[in-house]
Structure 1
């Protein structure tokens, strides 16, 4: 019987897109979650807490490939070290980690934990692959929606981003998971570099809303890092195909049109 692929965070934004691709490739999948749930659609679920570390050896047992997608606002480095140590003890042959672009240079606490997680994977003694994708379209949309609630939107014009569609990430990641360990692979970014005002303007147009935008500087070390483009993908990055405009048309404009087409409540 083919060994299962263990996916942490398999019910999240990226995991829920990756798991079906692995199943379509004929690979059994085991998903590590925080909460118990019954097996479904060919997926086995195991409930473990990576931060606590209890029972991880049983969760990874028999899995030759382990994909680490789970994350949170705190403790990613601890969780990754716990998982990497268990992967080593189990004799896993491939440990795959998803990080983020700019993790080397942007002085943000969350980025530092992602970089520490990368190092835990690289130092685990298990053959490994690490992918650094840019910010997901869904994440950027959430930020745009929150900012659009302000009467005037502060929009530093020097900030550039390369948002990538999570479906492009899932497709690319599936190939890496099913392939051989490759170390730190080229970054994955969206098809275009866009400033924050451009991202916000696209959202407002799709949502049919108007808000004035106020150019403001982003101060300090973080501001300098973003103005210098240190958050962007490294040279030689792979580029996704789905654009920010495509994503907005699908998730914002179409939803707006559907609401407008509903008959008024009596």
Structure 2
């Protein structure tokens, strides 16, 4: 198989993918903006050829809601073709083809680039990670009340389970679009918010807020969920217990 390159290998998901691959005995190169000796900004592509030369597989975890993912994918796919990389594994999001959110549209556009490339490919879509849900709730909890989108549920998944699945896919051949991976529970945002408040010791009134627009309607309709693929096992409550312990004093 040769060396496996992990882009975004120091990020939330990429570092777990890297750890899992190395534990499985693979030689791994981490590519990110600040990871020597392969410090590469995929958006300009400088140094990318050296990073992928001799690699058999690339796991593409690097992504940014601030933009540049399509340009980065072009650079990566071109470098992979020049280096003769046989397999690119791409992590995407459940609902990118159903929810008209700008970042989701970008992820879908990258999927299309991967599918049209000359490199063998695998695409895995997952639901949101537990820590992203907590970051959203932490931001909302800065207010005197905790507002959540009315009528919206989520299906958070454990990031280490996603990393294990990506490592498994990287160790196999190109498989195309594989089945989605979702967390074990679909829960209303009000319930997720109350669980977060209990675990963090914060006191806030949870206020469901009706929103408007096609993106909100798509979330209300469950376009970002995969209840038929609830194959993850780590629950949101278990994640909160690991992160906050038995619960912080109320504040």
Bin for the TM-score computed over the shorter chain: over 0.9
1:133 corresponds to which residue? 126
Q: Mapping of 1:97-246 within 5 angstroms?
A: 97-233=90-226, 236-237=228-229, 239-246=231-238
Structure 1 unaligned runs (5+)?
38-44, 258-266
Compute the displacement of 1:27 (Å). Answer: 0.9
**CA RMSD after TM alignment:** 1.5
Structure 2 unaligned runs (5+)?
none
Q: Mapping of 1:17-36 within 5 angstroms?
A: 17-36=16-35
Compute the displacement of 1:55 (Å). Answer: 2.6
TM-score by length of 2: 0.94
How many positions carry a matched residue from both structures? Answer: 248
The 3-state SS of whatever aligns with 1:59 is helix
Q: Is the 8 A contact 2:201 2:247 kept in 1?
A: no
Indicate how the Cα distance of structure 1 residues 236 and 209 shifts in structure 2: closer, same or farther if over 3 A, else same. Answer: closer
**In 2, Cα distance between equivalents of 1:203 and 1:253:** 12
2:248 to 241, 246, 256: 256
The 3-state SS of whatever aligns with 2:248 is helix
Higher mean C-alpha displacement, 28-37 vs 221-230: 28-37
Compute the displacement of 1:215 (Å). Answer: 2.2
Larger radius of gyration: 1
Confirm or deny that 1:48 pairs with 2:40. yes
Q: Mapping of 1:1-12 within 5 angstroms?
A: 3-12=2-11
Compute the displacement of 1:63 (Å). Answer: 0.3
**In 2, Cα distance between equivalents of 1:148 and 1:211:** 7
**In 2, Cα distance between equivalents of 1:84 and 1:9:** 15
**In 1, Cα distance between equivalents of 2:230 and 2:55:** 28
User: Structure 1 runs of 4+ off > 6 angstroms?
Assistant: none
1:40 corresponds to which residue? none
